[in-house]
Amino acid sequence: MATETRGEAAAKDEGKGKPSRKRTSPLLFVRQVIAELRKVIWPTRRELITYTTVSLVFVLIMVGIVSGLDWALLKGVYWLFG
Protein backbone atom coordinates (compact mmCIF):
# COMPACT_ATOMS: atom_id res chain seq x y z
CA MET A 1 0.00 0.00 0.00
CA ALA A 2 1.30 3.47 -0.85
CA THR A 3 0.62 4.96 2.59
CA GLU A 4 2.71 2.45 4.52
CA THR A 5 6.11 3.56 5.75
CA ARG A 6 9.20 1.72 6.88
CA GLY A 7 12.15 2.38 9.14
CA GLU A 8 12.53 5.68 10.99
CA ALA A 9 9.42 7.22 9.46
CA ALA A 10 7.30 4.40 10.87
CA ALA A 11 8.90 4.79 14.28
CA LYS A 12 8.08 8.51 14.29
CA ASP A 13 4.46 7.81 13.41
CA GLU A 14 4.03 5.38 16.32
CA GLY A 15 4.35 8.17 18.86
CA LYS A 16 1.61 10.24 17.25
CA GLY A 17 -1.66 10.74 18.95
CA LYS A 18 -2.95 13.17 21.46
CA PRO A 19 -0.19 13.99 23.94
CA SER A 20 -1.34 14.38 27.52
CA ARG A 21 -0.52 17.93 28.55
CA LYS A 22 -0.79 19.25 32.03
CA ARG A 23 -1.97 22.84 32.40
CA THR A 24 0.39 25.32 33.97
CA SER A 25 -0.76 27.23 37.01
CA PRO A 26 -0.95 31.04 36.71
CA LEU A 27 1.74 31.43 39.38
CA LEU A 28 4.15 29.14 37.50
CA PHE A 29 3.39 31.03 34.29
CA VAL A 30 4.25 34.38 35.90
CA ARG A 31 7.47 32.93 37.33
CA GLN A 32 8.46 31.64 33.90
CA VAL A 33 7.69 34.99 32.28
CA ILE A 34 9.83 36.82 34.85
CA ALA A 35 12.66 34.32 34.34
CA GLU A 36 12.54 34.87 30.57
CA LEU A 37 12.46 38.65 30.96
CA ARG A 38 15.63 38.47 33.04
CA LYS A 39 17.39 36.87 30.05
CA VAL A 40 16.52 39.79 27.77
CA ILE A 41 19.30 42.22 26.93
CA TRP A 42 17.55 45.57 27.17
CA PRO A 43 18.82 48.42 24.97
CA THR A 44 20.47 51.43 26.55
CA ARG A 45 18.81 54.84 26.31
CA ARG A 46 21.16 55.86 23.51
CA GLU A 47 20.41 52.67 21.52
CA LEU A 48 16.70 53.13 22.07
CA ILE A 49 16.82 56.72 20.78
CA THR A 50 18.87 55.59 17.77
CA TYR A 51 16.46 52.73 16.93
CA THR A 52 13.45 55.02 17.32
CA THR A 53 14.99 57.72 15.11
CA VAL A 54 15.93 55.24 12.40
CA SER A 55 12.42 53.75 12.47
CA LEU A 56 10.71 57.14 12.23
CA VAL A 57 12.98 58.28 9.37
CA PHE A 58 12.29 55.02 7.50
CA VAL A 59 8.53 55.43 7.97
CA LEU A 60 8.67 59.05 6.75
CA ILE A 61 10.65 58.01 3.67
CA MET A 62 8.13 55.25 2.90
CA VAL A 63 5.23 57.69 3.36
CA GLY A 64 6.93 60.03 0.90
CA ILE A 65 7.45 57.26 -1.66
CA VAL A 66 3.88 55.98 -1.41
CA SER A 67 2.46 59.51 -1.53
CA GLY A 68 4.57 60.32 -4.58
CA LEU A 69 3.48 57.16 -6.38
CA ASP A 70 -0.15 57.85 -5.47
CA TRP A 71 0.09 61.40 -6.83
CA ALA A 72 1.82 60.22 -10.03
CA LEU A 73 -0.79 57.51 -10.64
CA LEU A 74 -3.60 60.01 -9.97
CA LYS A 75 -2.15 62.41 -12.55
CA GLY A 76 -1.67 59.54 -15.00
CA VAL A 77 -5.28 58.38 -14.63
CA TYR A 78 -6.60 61.94 -15.03
CA TRP A 79 -4.44 62.41 -18.13
CA LEU A 80 -5.53 59.07 -19.60
CA PHE A 81 -9.24 59.28 -18.86
CA GLY A 82 -9.56 63.06 -18.68
> Would you state the pLDDT for residue 24?
85
**Would the pLDDT of 45 be above 80?**
yes
**Would the pLDDT of 14 be above 90?**
no
User: Over the stretch 46-77, which tens digit does the pLDDT of each residue have?
Assistant: 999 999 999 999 999 999 999 999 999 999 99
Q: What 3-state class would DSSP assign to 4?
A: coil
Compute, in degrees rounded to 10, the torsion defined by CA atoms 56, 60, 61, 63: 140
**Would the pLDDT of 10 be above 90?**
no
Which comes out higher in pLDDT, residue 62 or 4?
62
Q: Does residue 5 contact residue 13 with C-beta atoms inside 8 Å? A: yes
> Would you state the pLDDT for residue 22?
84
